[in-house]
Amino acid sequence: MKSLEAITYEPQLSYMQTQQAINYIKTTFSQELAKVLNLTLVSAPLFVESGTGINDDLNGSESSVRFTPSNIESGLEIVHSLAKWKRMALKQYNFSAHAGLYTNMQAIRQSELLDHTHSLLVDQWDWELIIHQSDRNLSMLQTIVEKIYAILLSVEEDIQKMFPHIQKELPPKITFITTQNLLEDYPKHSPKERETAITKKYGAVFLMQIGGALSDGNTHDGRSPDYDDWSLNGDILVYNSVFDEAFELSSMGIRVDESKLVEQLAVAQCEERLQHTYHQFIVNNELPFTIGGGIGQSRLCQFLLKKAHIGEVQVSHWPDEIVKFCELKGIPLL
């Protein structure tokens, strides 16, 4: 993998071209996503009530931004994502099977380690689709992944037509592989090195079964135990030629049912979450079966427009050392 310090970089688009492309990508991708998956755009919260279990716990170690308004007794916290809120909203809004919702989610992740792909600001299409209990299987998961990947291919082709000097890189089809098989293929590599090796080989992969322990006793990556079913989830990863490494565009999965929730909370040693409002809804079978995920808006723009830094496609805040480094390398932060 190349370090950002080692790359030779020159932006392929001007400031105005970049803004034009960002607008096109966000508009076109969201419209196609809604059409292909039968989703309705809905309003979404920036913050939720603390202690309800509704916020996304990510890896379980990240702290959320919290505040207590003067006229509200309970504390509120800025969302990390809407992984759990969406499932509750589908019930509240009375969606039917094989229909769902999506949102233009913005969040703050104050614990994020900032680099060329990670920002304090997270913007993504958070989507969720109601399925039948019988749809909770690998075939359904892979079908949805292939539909999303087809949209990625279409938007990449559009961008190449708009800006012919930006070369297409995505392969015609996405490859499916489990984290266990990836470990067996690259036993001496770290998880991130494995991801780079497999995406460099195939161009685009859906890496499945993230969260549970592998044969070496380790997990490939952390995943909260209370929304994805670890046996039916995964990440869409692509090979990023700008800095020669795997690049995550989306995290998604079929959501836990009652038995998987209890099982995974026990493995993660956080059974106390069962007392939270959200978890009680699942235990009591009061929420629909769903599949859902998040697709990074700035991440997608960064990849398709061959940008070296996520700050080239979103306005965030960066420490002085990153700002100075980008100035030195000719990377224009917004």
Is 312:299 a contact under the CB 8 Å cutoff?
A: no
| Secondary structure letter of residue 209 according to DSSP | -
Spell out where the chain has E strands: 39-41, 47-49, 66-67, 76-78, 100-108, 121-130, 175-178, 204-208, 228-240, 245-255, 290-296
State the Cα–Cα distance between residues 252 and 236, nearest whole angstrom.
8
Catalytic-labelled residue, pool 135, 226, 248, 312 = 248
251: annotated active-site residue: yes
Catalytic residue among 251, 264, 297, 314: 251
Respond yes or no: is residue 257 known to be catalytic.
no
Work out the burial of residue 127: count CB atoms within 10 Å of its CB; fewer than 13 is exposed, 13-18 middle, 19 or more buried: buried
Active site residue 135: no
C-alpha closest to that of 83 among 228, 272, 236:
228
β-partners of residue 245 are 240
The single residue of 30, 56, 298, 312 carrying the catalytic annotation is 56
Catalytic residue, candidates 124, 209, 231, 297: 124
Strand order in the sheet with 175-178: 39-41, 100-108, 121-130, 290-296, 245-255, 228-240, 204-208, 175-178
Q: List the catalytic residue out of 135, 156, 235, 245.
A: 235
Residue 7 buriedness (CB in 10 A; 0-12 / 13-18 / 19+): middle
- In whole angstroms, what is the distance from residue 55 CA to residue 150 CA? 30
Do the bridges between strand 47-49 and strand 76-78 make them parallel or antiparallel, or are there none, so unpaired? antiparallel
Q: Are strands 39-41 and 100-108 parallel, antiparallel or unpaired?
A: parallel
124 is catalytic: yes
Residue 56 a catalytic site member = yes
Is 235 one of the annotated active-site residues of the chain?
Answer: yes
Catalytic residue among 64, 77, 109, 224: 109
Catalytic residues: 56, 109, 124, 235, 248, 251
